[in-house]
Amino acid sequence: MSSTGPRFDSLGAATASVGGRGGFLRPLMWLGGLIAAGCAMAVGALLAVFTAIAVAVIAVVAGVVMFLMGMASRARRTTGGARKGRRRTDDDDTVIEAHKVDGTWVAYGWERSGR
């Protein structure tokens, strides 16, 4: 039994010794290993490129969303918000009544409809 074990005896690895020339499949195994390593590096590089592209696209979309949010905020500030131009009704009343009861402020009219 060789140092490589009985698995590779039929492939010619049994003739390989530490000081000898090795089997006839030894160069082919090296070539197969090099090809597999090259393919693995190529796939890794391709995945790294796809990841970088995805990160760039996410950054661009986030920038567009932030820009649109800023424009909407500026437009709302310029027009005076959602209330400008509407008639004031009792439902839109923003003034609440509060009294101090035993050292604590109690507010009335704070309940919101629709809850």
Residue 110 pLDDT > 60: yes
Contacts of 3 (CB under 8 A, 6+ apart): 18
**Mean pLDDT (the chain, rounded):** 79
Tell me which of 7 and 19 has the higher pLDDT: 7
Neighbours of 13 (CB within 10 A): 19
User: Any idea what DSSP says for residue 88?
Assistant: P
pLDDT tens-digit readout, 50-64: 999 999 999 999 999
The pTM of the whole model exceeds 0.85:
no
Residue 92 pLDDT > 70: no
Q: Which residue has the tokens 């604590």?
A: 104
Summarize the confidence of residues 72-91 as an average pLDDT: 69
CB 99, CB 106: distance < 8 Å? yes
Contacts of 2 (CB under 8 A, 6+ apart): 9, 13, 14, 16, 17
**Domain chopping of the chain, boundaries:** 12-84
